[in-house]
Structure 1
Amino acid sequence: MFTPLVVASMTLATSIHGTADKRPFSHLLRDITYVLAAATGVVGTAFHVYNVGKKDGGFSWQNVFYGAPLGAPMAILLAGLLGFCSERVRESTPGTRPEIFALPAGRTIAAVAGAGLLGTTGEAGLLHFRGAFHNPFMMLPVTLPPLGAAMLFSAAARGPGRRHRSTHRFMRVLAAMGFAGVGFHAYGVSRNMGGWRNWSQNILNGPPLPAPPSFAGLALAALAALELKGDHPDA
């Protein structure tokens, strides 16, 4: 269980290194870290599925609600996948179309971000359903991201020469929603007995603070993909 903590920290440090590195070349150690993150996400998902399935009653609503979160390890997978894609864009020859395994990079990353939004929506929907949607704002993470995913799939499917301005604006809305969600979850923690004075207990039992930024991260990756399509119309 220490593995995702170590790998996530390595992936974050690697991403910071990649952002600061101005050289137009990929980096072997960064690639290895991103592949390790993706593998950790896949293996972690298998462990979480096993954890839920081995409980009394198997895949019942009770166990899915309160067992290991099924979608959480996929966040590390997406981080590794998007990081690996960024390295492929970095190593593209100037003046040529950026590609990821011979696929246009902009459209490929847009499709990956759209799929990630759908998966993250499923996890949010499950946990917000557990919370009975007691706050109307809890509907936003299960309604807006699927629309954003549909827009990204449309952008990925369409040919060159399109700017996708409405999709740009909508991704900014999703990014803002992700950051605002941290505030809502912090408020949810404060509503538990003892509030933030009992933070060591309530952070574990309250709404997860790191969850909403997943939407912001995917929206920012989508914006990068759309900018890539704008700079290279055939990407």
Structure 2
Amino acid sequence: MTDDQRTLTEDQRQQAELLWAYHQMHHQVRPVDAAIGLGSHDLGVPAYCARLYRAGLFPILVFTGGPNPTVPERFPRGEAVHFREHAIELGVPDEAILVEPKARNTGQNITFSREALSGAGVTVKRVMLISMPYMERRSFATARKLWPEADVICASEPLEFDDYLKSIGDEKLVTDQLVGDLQRVIEYPGLGFAIEQHVPGDARAAFESLIRDGFTGRLIH
């Protein structure tokens, strides 16, 4: 795939969908003490945060993230700031939102959000991480490493793979992210950043196939 040809072949789509399914944790959404909206390039995250807040699943919400590393021009004032504004437009009261604008990676998202909640006097035994669909597993593994005493629930906008591709409008970008997130799931435990996660053989084979096809834009080396 060339940079100017950003649609997937049928085989690539099938491989990408295997990774998509693996990255989701399929947790049951239930009430928690607080939620963390993890910064990204996707406004579906704050939209889903607002939906779950309005459903009464948590009383307070942290948006976390500085400039987006993939598309910095998308949120020039930082992910958390733009996510907060979008959530307020969708009915979340300002007083229910904490903004953490410094984090540059998922580990910092978790650590700095935890500090923000503690600083606000919020006791958290159960926390919900709300992310892009393909970021669930990596955020779960990171939180379990850095916040082991918390009961972690992962949630994301409930979209089918094809619908998510259409919502983002860039099939190569999404597939690069799927591949990059799986590389992090595999390698971060050895670096002390996350707990180990089992990767099934079909997901690993799909990962290797997509790398061979050039979906390397989010690999860390």
TM-score of Structure 1 vs Structure 2, range by shorter chain: under 0.3
Q: Which has the higher contact order (CA 8 A, sep 6+)?
A: 2
More strand, by proportion: 2
- Normalising to structure 1: TM-score of the pair? 0.24
Structure having the larger proportion of residues in helix: 1
**With structure 2 as the length reference, what TM-score do the two structures score?**
0.25
